[in-house]
């Protein structure tokens, strides 16, 4: 078992929470993980990426080599596409559709989405809309964890456990709405898998 | 013992706690900040009453740690690479004094300058001070080496340096802990003159350091963190230090490299291990994160004509961090290329948060200085450095912490009036005050804008050492109280701010304008924390 996942988004979108949720769940399954994150300057609204490596064997590099990632998980569509050089030829790109526009030269949304649709294996999810519908507007990052879950080889109950661990300190309601977000994300892709 | 999932920084913190430290001293700086933050959250550190508050700068941190070592206790001091420039004076001299309690200096380098002004390689400082130093290759080693560094420090009576780089500092891995050591009892040095660096004593101390060089070398030759790994294919020998070792193994299934490899994580360079590799193989390839530190020394050590490849001969880029693909290229291994990103992908540089007070200051400053131009606005390091980018284009320099005030003074000395310094509150406390005193002494006609957001915001919102006292400090430094002005940077105060700035720009002596409003990100975080406390 080996899963190399590039998680991409904009500083402040909860990339590290996404990585932590999947990472903890993988550990719960008994796998080794290495997870490299970006701290510092780019967390101020810049491009942010995390490399999450899951394996049943020893993991050497903290960084995923280019051309070998099994999955790119985007909490923002342009950021997901930024790291395509990491994706292996039969890897999946799964991304939130909602753009985060804080720069003047952001590409045309239609052009971006059709580019993504044209990739051999890609799924676009309107995570923000889904999160709003279940009244958990701040959980679109966890919706994306749900959308990625069929590709992770990790049991859903372990993802739920990880979410509980991560959000415990914020109260029971927050845990509940994030587990709902996870399930809603999974549901949104179930017909595409 | 248990395993914990920790960032590289956090494994060092845990290693220091378990290594029996009585104090950690640090000034925040990416990628080193999480070391202190982890100790501050630690229950053990609290129970053990480990000293764990932020210092005003790296020099004060280094000196306080040396003081704790003088008193017989173990101390660790942490900083980013450029912080060691600030702490260089006590650091270099601590190699001469030696230590009493174990003293470990952790320096986090930032190759590729993810969040830094340069990518200097701290191993040169280790060599410069002629002390033992380490470069862990993974999180587990970072933990074990931290423990080992304290033992080595006390064994040889020297400070020991640990050098890490961004990708190790900010990557998580499950680390196996080992038994915690008790703190040392306080004790003064056996030799009462050890720390008195008068020339006559210092000469002896320096000789003692030199006499220990061979011990340091032997420790590195026999270190379990340095190894010679056999390989069948002797057409190439590989030297890999720190995390470059992982990038090497990544390129071979099961981590089985066919070539002999010398892995290095403890310095000074183990010459015998390297000589064996040099003699047994036809060519060498040196993989190291940072400057060509090992490569240069190998070229100097055994210059018998065999090719030595690395960053100097173009096998690897001369600058920037390594990664598995660059290492593959140097090994002439084909690697799979991913997909191409389309041309329309735009850069997304960091930016000031919406609602940040720095925005209001720059809008006001741009208007007040319109007739003169922004070339005369010297600035400094912090979130506010983003004011150099559009749409503000407000500032014209960012060099090293505190340089805004002193550079503005130099500009004024050169005959330019008005000259302006823009500096954050933490940066002002770190290294701005001494420059302010120079300016006061020379009646320099400069206007200093201090952005007081009650936080070290750039590095994650740590508390500042000057909280609520900036105006008092300026007054005490000798600034005319009538020219210490304050405003609250908000859009609705724009006209007032422009007015104040214009008045002070026209004043032909030192004036200080303090913009006082809390960092909105810290404000939000504190609100959230409060809510959580109420809920629980
Ligand atoms: C010598 C040195 N130490 C630490 C740092 C890391 N660093 C960058 S900016 C900064 C402080 C910023 O705080 P402040 O001046 O209050 O500005 P703010 O970010 O709050 O706007 C620090 C610690 C550095 N660049 N150089
Ligand atoms: S973190 Fe604080 S100081 Fe930095 S840009 Fe955001 S609001 Fe401004």
Residue A176 C-alpha, separation from nearest chain B C-alpha, in angstroms: 15
Instruction: Using DSSP bridges, classify how beta strands B103-109 and B160-165 pair: parallel, antiparallel or unpaired.
Output: parallel
Which structure tokens are listed for B472?
A: 């008092």
Residue A116 confidence (pLDDT) above 60: yes
pLDDT score at A120: 95
Which candidate, B450, B430, B426, B448, places its Cα nearest to that of B439?
Answer: B448
pLDDT of residue B126: 98
Average pLDDT, chain B: 96
Who lines ligand 1 at CB under 6 A?
Answer: B 27-29, 58, 80, 82-83, 86, 381-384, 401, 424-427, 451, 453, 455-459, 464, 519
pLDDT of residue B242: 98
Are A34 and B337 within 8 A, CB to CB? no
User: d(Cα B14, Cα B146) in Å, to the nearest integer?
Assistant: 9
pLDDT reading at A39 higher than 90? no
CA dist., res. B276 & res. B256, Å (int): 20
Tell me the mean pLDDT in the region A87-116. 96
**B535 in contact with A, Cβ within 8 Å:** yes
Is B356 touching ligand 2 by the criterion CB < 6 Å?
yes
Please write down the HEC assignment for all residues of B242-277: CCHHHHHHHCCHHHCCCCCEEEECEECCCHHHHHHH
ipTM: 0.94
B468: alpha, beta or left? (left if phi > 0; alpha if psi -120 to 50) = left
B453 token code pair: 């957001």
pLDDT for the residue numbered B533: 64
The whole-model pTM stands at 0.97
Residue A127, classified by CB atoms within 10 Å of its CB into exposed (0-12), middle (13-18) or buried (19+), is buried
Considering only CB atoms, B170 lies closest to which of A39, A84, A102, namely A39
**Residue B310 has what pLDDT?**
98
Q: What is the pLDDT of residues B364-376, one digit of tens each?
A: 999 999 999 999 9
* DSSP characters over B43-96: HHHHHTT-B-PPPSSHHHHHHHHHHHHHTT-EEEEEEEHHHHHHTHHHHHHHHH
Whole-angstrom distance, CA of residue B287 vs CA of residue B292: 9
Per residue in B301-360, pLDDT tens?
Answer: 887 789 999 999 999 999 999 999 999 999 999 988 899 999 999 999 889 999 999 999
Q: Which of B30, B171, B174 sits opposite A40 (nearest CB)?
A: B30
Label residue B528 by pLDDT band (50, 70, 90). Answer: confident
pLDDT tens-place string over residues B49-100: 999 999 999 999 999 999 999 999 999 999 999 999 999 999 999 999 999 9
Q: In this structure, what token pair is assigned to residue B27? A: 């000034």
Contact indicator for B493, B465 with CB cutoff of 8 Å: no
Percent of chain A with pLDDT over 70: 100
Distance separating the N- and C-terminal Cα atoms of chain A: 20
CB B428 within 8 A of CB B401: no
In a 10 Å sphere around its CB, with 0-12 CB exposed, 13-18 middle and 19+ buried, how is residue A191 labelled? exposed
Give the H or E element holding residue B358.
helix B357-368
Cα A64 to Cα B340: distance, rounded to the nearest angstrom: 17
pLDDT band at residue A38 using 50, 70 and 90 as cut-offs: confident
Report d(CA B284, CA B260) in Å as an integer.
Answer: 10
Map tokens 């309107």 to a residue: A126
- Domains of chain A by start residue, with CATH: 2-189 (3.40.920.10)
Per-residue pLDDT reduced to its tens digit, B377-432:
999 999 999 999 999 999 999 999 999 999 999 999 999 999 999 999 999 999 99
Q: What is the DSSP string of B153-178?
A: HHHHTS-EEEEEEHHHHTEEEEEE--
Residue B479 and residue B439 in contact, taking contact as beta carbons nearer than 8 Å: no
Confidence of residue B241 (pLDDT cuts 50, 70, 90): very high
Alpha carbon of B334: minimum distance to chain A alpha carbons (Å) = 11
Comparing CB atoms, the residue among A36, A78, A79 nearest residue B171 is A36
Closest C-alpha to ligand 1, atom 3? B83
For chain B, list the domains and their CATH numbers. 3-182+198-211 (3.40.50.970), 227-331 (3.40.50.920), 357-522 (3.40.50.970)
Structure tokens at B148: 């080992």
CA distance A13 to A44: 11
pLDDT band at B534 (very low <50, low <70, confident <90, very high): low
**β-sheet bridge partners, residue B23:** B51, B75
């Amino acid at each position: 078992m080996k899963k190399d996942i590039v998680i991409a988004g904009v500083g402040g979108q909860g990339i590290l929470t996404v990585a932590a949720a999947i990472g903890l769940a993988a550990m719960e399954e008994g796998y080794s993980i290495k997870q490299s994150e970006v701290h510092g300057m780019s967390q101020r609204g810049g491009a942010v990426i995390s490399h999450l490596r899951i394996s049943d064997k020893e993991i050497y590099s903290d960084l995923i080599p280019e051309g070998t990632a099994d999955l790119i998980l985007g909490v923002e569509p342009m950021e997901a596409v930024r790291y395509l050089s990491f994706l292996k030829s039969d890897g999946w790109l799964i991304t939130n559709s909602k753009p985060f526009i804080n720069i003047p030269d952001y590409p045309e949304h239609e052009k971006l989405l059709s580019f993504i649709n044209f990739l051999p294996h890609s799924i676009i999810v309107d995570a923000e809309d889904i999160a709003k519908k279940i009244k958990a507007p701040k959980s679109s990052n966890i919706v994306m964890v749900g959308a990625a879950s069929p590709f992770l080889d990790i049991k859903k109950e372990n993802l739920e456990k990880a979410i509980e661990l991560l959000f415990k300190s914020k109260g029971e309601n927050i845990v509940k709405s994030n587990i709902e977000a996870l399930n809603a994300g999974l549901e949104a892709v179930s017909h595409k898998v | 013992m248990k395993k914990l999932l920790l960032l590289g920084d956090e494994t060092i913190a845990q290693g220091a706690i378990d290594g029996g430290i009585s104090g950690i001293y640090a000034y925040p700086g990416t990628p080193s900040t999480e070391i202190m933050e982890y100790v501050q959250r630690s229950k053990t550190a609290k129970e053990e009453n480990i000293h764990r508050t932020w210092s005003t700068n790296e020099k004060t941190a280094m000196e306080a740690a040396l003081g704790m070592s003088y008193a017989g206790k173990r101390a660790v001091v942490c900083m980013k690479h450029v912080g060691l420039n600030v702490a260089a004076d006590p650091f270099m001299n601590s190699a001469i004094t030696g230590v009493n309690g174990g003293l470990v200096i952790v320096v986090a380098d930032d190759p590729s300058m993810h969040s830094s002004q340069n990518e200097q390689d701290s191993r040169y400082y280790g060599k410069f001070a002629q002390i033992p130093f380490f470069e862990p290759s993974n999180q587990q080693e970072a933990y074990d080496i931290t423990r080992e560094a304290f033992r080595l420090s006390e064994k040889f009576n020297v400070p020991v340096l640990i050098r890490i780089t961004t990708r190790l500092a900010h990557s998580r891995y499950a680390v196996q802990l080992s038994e915690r050591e008790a703190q040392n009892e306080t004790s003064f040095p056996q030799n009462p003159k050890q720390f008195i660096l008068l020339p006559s004593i210092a000469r002896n101390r320096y000789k003692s350091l030199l006499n220990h060089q061979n011990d340091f070398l032997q420790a590195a030759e026999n270190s379990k963190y340095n190894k010679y790994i056999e390989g069948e294919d002797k057409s190439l020998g590989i030297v890999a230090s720190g995390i470059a070792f992982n990038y090497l193994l990544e390129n071979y299934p099961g981590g089985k490299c066919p070539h002999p490899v010398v892995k290095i994580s403890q310095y000074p360079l183990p010459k015998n291990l390297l000589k064996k590799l040099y003699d047994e193989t036809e060519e060498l390839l040196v993989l190291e994160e940072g400057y060509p530190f090992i490569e240069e020394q190998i070229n100097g050590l055994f210059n018998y004509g065999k090719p030595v490849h690395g960053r100097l001969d173009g096998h690897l880029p001369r600058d920037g961090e390594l990664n598995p693909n660059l290492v593959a290229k140097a090994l002439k291994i084909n690697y799979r290329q991913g997909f191409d990103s389309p041309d329309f992908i735009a850069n997304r540089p960091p930016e000031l948060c919406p609602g940040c007070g720095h925005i209001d200051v720059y809008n006001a400053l741009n208007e007040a200085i319109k007739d003169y131009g922004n070339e005369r606005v010297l600035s400094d390091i912090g979130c506010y450095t983003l004011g150099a980018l559009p749409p503000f284009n407000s500032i014209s320099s960012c060099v090293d912490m505190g340089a805004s005030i002193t550079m503005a003074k130099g500009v004024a000395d050169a005959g330019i009036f008005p000259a302006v310094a823009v500096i954050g509150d933490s940066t002002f406390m770190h290294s701005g005050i001494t420059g302010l005193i120079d300016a006061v002494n020379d009646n320099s006609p400069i206007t200093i804008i201090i952005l007081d957001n009650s936080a070290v915001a750039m590095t994650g919102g740590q508390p500042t050492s000057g909280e609520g006292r900036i105006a008092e400090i300026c007054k005490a430094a000798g600034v005319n109280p009538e020219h210490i002005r304050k405003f609250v940077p908000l859009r609705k105060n724009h006209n007032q701010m422009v007015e104040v700035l214009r008045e002070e720009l026209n004043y032909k002596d030192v004036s200080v304008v303090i913009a006082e409003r809390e960092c909105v990100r810290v404000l939000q975080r504190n609100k959230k924390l409060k809510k959580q406390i109420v809920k629980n």
